[in-house]
């Protein structure tokens, strides 16, 4: 069985909304922790019991579900990337990221190294990085114009 077949079967079993929630939780939390959340383990166990899918633990499912829940694109490895997980306050950029490009940084390529995860490369969605670049380009102009304004002008 391949990744595509597993994804299709799993998405059909759990439904499209729950499938996206599952993949989003994996992309946001699972890869960083190196494990599934409890509700994901339960859902996966129910799926495994209903279909002939042995060994559907984290190690196998993480590989099969290396996709962007928003764009459906396969995640790509960026071995030189540094994590941007700690972005600070909620801003227009972080809100846009959650909605339009959630997977510019969705887990370490090499898991299991608790403190090295931020230095060993990351998985990312190519479509999310394009969407992020487009958003930044559209929102950079007003900020750049405001920065060029002489002091004292409002």
pLDDT in tens, 39-65: 999 999 999 988 777 778 898 899 999
Tell me: do 47 and 11 sit in the same domain.
yes
Tell me: do 52 and 86 sit in the same domain.
no
Q: Is residue 144 part of a domain?
A: yes
Please determine, for residue 144, whether its predicted confidence score (pLDDT) is greater than 80. Answer: no
How far is it, in rounded angstroms, from Cα 22 to Cα 145?
41
Q: Is residue 142 part of a domain?
A: yes
pLDDT digits (tens, 9 = 90+) for 68-109: 999 999 999 888 776 666 656 677 877 888 788 887 877 666
Q: Which of 53, 36, 49, 44 is nearest to 14 (CA)?
A: 44
Domain count, the chain: 2
pTM for the predicted model, two decimal places: 0.78
Tell me: do 28 and 88 sit in the same domain.
no
Q: Is residue 72 part of a domain?
A: no
Please state at what angle helix 16-25 crosses helix 38-50, rounded to 10 degrees. Answer: 130
Q: What percent of the chain has pLDDT over 90?
A: 38
Domain interval for residue 131: 77-154
């Amino acid at each position: 069985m391949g990744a595509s077949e597993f994804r299709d079967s799993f998405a059909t079993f759990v439904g499209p909304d729950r499938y996206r929630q599952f993949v989003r939780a994996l992309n946001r939390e699972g890869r960083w922790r190196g494990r599934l959340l409890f509700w994901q383990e339960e859902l996966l166990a129910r799926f495994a019991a209903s279909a002939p899918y042995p060994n559907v633990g984290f190690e196998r499912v993480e590989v099969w579900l290396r996709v962007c829940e928003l764009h459906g694109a396969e995640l790509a490895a960026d071995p030189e990337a540094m994590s941007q997980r700690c972005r600070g306050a909620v801003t227009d950029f972080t809100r846009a990221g959650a909605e339009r490009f959630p997977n510019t940084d969705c887990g370490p390529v090499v898991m299991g190294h608790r403190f090295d995860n931020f230095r060993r490369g990351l998985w990312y969605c190519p479509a999310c990085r394009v969407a992020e670049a487009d958003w930044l380009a559209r929102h950079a102009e007003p900020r750049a114009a405001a920065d060029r304004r002489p002091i004292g002008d409002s």
